[in-house]
Amino acid sequence: MKKDKVLVFEFGSSFLRAIIAGKGLNNTFVVKSFKEVAYDGFYEGKFLAPDKLSTLFSQIVNEFDCQKENINKVYIGVPSEFSSVSTTTVSLNLGSRRKIRQQDLDQLFYIASERAKDKNVEILSVNALSYMLDEGRSSFSPVGENATSISANLSIIYANRSFIETFNKIVSANEFESVEYISESLAQALFVISKAEREDLALLIDVGDLTTSVCFVKGDGLSNMASFSRGGGFITNDLAEAFDLSMSEAERLKSIIVLSLKGKNSDFYELTTDLGKVVKIPLSSANEIVSYRIEEIAQAISKCMQLFSNAYINYLPVYLTGAGVSKIKGGRDFLAKCLGRNIKYGVAPLPAKDKPELASIYSLVNEALK
């Protein structure tokens, strides 16, 4: 059934986004309502103020007037810190040489889903990384090809059951008929990285405020995923401590820093304080502080990549999403230098919405509308 519009929630590590959107012309989205609010967020896989989630959720639902909009289902993005991924290979003997049908692929997915069931986690999705036909041929779209047997290398993404139970209660209290959970990392991978680049292997790095995820992407799934609690908020905190600033002042300082500038000792940034006073911040010191923290994030990303060392390829396309590093002038280039790789911004293929920090919410909308 075609959906006219969907209600989607994205729970970031320090910002919550909600959106009502529908399909527009030429694969665009029509946004009916959009809300972004700062909240306590989560750290190391736990919400810092879980009791406030329900109130915040209800406020947005009321503000959007979902009853009037005739919306009875909600889609919720699951952050990488609340999810995990595993891979499995499933085979099917077709009996005789014949054309592969969609039902054959469905059976492979069903077998994998049954094997993967676990009382501690909820299966979010089962996606194909690649298929192998009996002649040893690999394929990404085997329907219609002739074979006597087919094997599928499948990616299974799980969500922590505690996350699902928390939001099931919240959704039920707000009288929605149903809820569907979507992997935020997978949604981004499928929306911002082209199918051609996913046929080999690609890397998606999402640096948020308090958390970073690192995902290897292949075919229609994630072959590996890791996350750690570091992000742009740590940079803000470092600047606040170093120069005795409030968090809002440190955030403004971060927004004017240009990492590519090599200043002299006499060079400085001019910052307007919360009280309207202009203060001078040494350019070299500020850049050094930001660079040091991005280096630390890069080291953690490298460790995640080493966990999947068999997938470490020199020409691997790398995409960066999230606001943690991408909004710092020169941040992406410095991260690329630390990793020794070229990095492209991962953006939604939508006019006027092509910003790395918006990739996650519009990727979730794209999945929900499918």
pLDDT confidence of residue 312: 56
Model pTM above 0.85: yes
* pLDDT beneath 70: ranges in the chain: 1-3, 309-313
Residues 100-157 have pLDDT tens digits of 999 999 999 999 999 888 888 899 999 999 999 987 888 888 999 999 999 999 999 9
pLDDT confidence of residue 187: 98
Q: Are 217 and 346 in contact (CB under 8 A)?
A: no
Residue 113 is which amino acid?
S
End-to-end CA distance of the chain: 10
pLDDT confidence of residue 3: 63
Measured CA to CA, the distance from residue 173 to residue 169 in angstroms comes to: 6
Measured CA to CA, the distance from residue 281 to residue 253 in angstroms comes to: 9
Per DSSP, the residues of 123-187 read: EEEEEEEEEEETTS-EES--TT-EEEEEEEEEEEEEEEHHHHHHHHHHHHHTT-SEEEEEEHHHH
pLDDT confidence of residue 1: 42
Percent of the chain with pLDDT over 70: 98
Q: Are 315 and 290 in contact (CB under 8 A)?
A: no
pLDDT confidence of residue 311: 54
Q: Which of 169, 165, 153 is nearest to 119 (CA)?
A: 165
Q: Are 6 and 34 in contact (CB under 8 A)?
A: no
pLDDT confidence of residue 117: 86
pLDDT confidence of residue 310: 62
Per DSSP, the residues of 39-81 read: ---EETTEES-GGGHHHHHHHHHHHHTTTTTT--EEEEEE-GG
For the chain, the 3-state helix, strand and coil shares in percent, each to the nearest 5, are 35, 35, 30
Residues 78-103 have pLDDT tens digits of 999 999 999 999 999 998 899 999 99
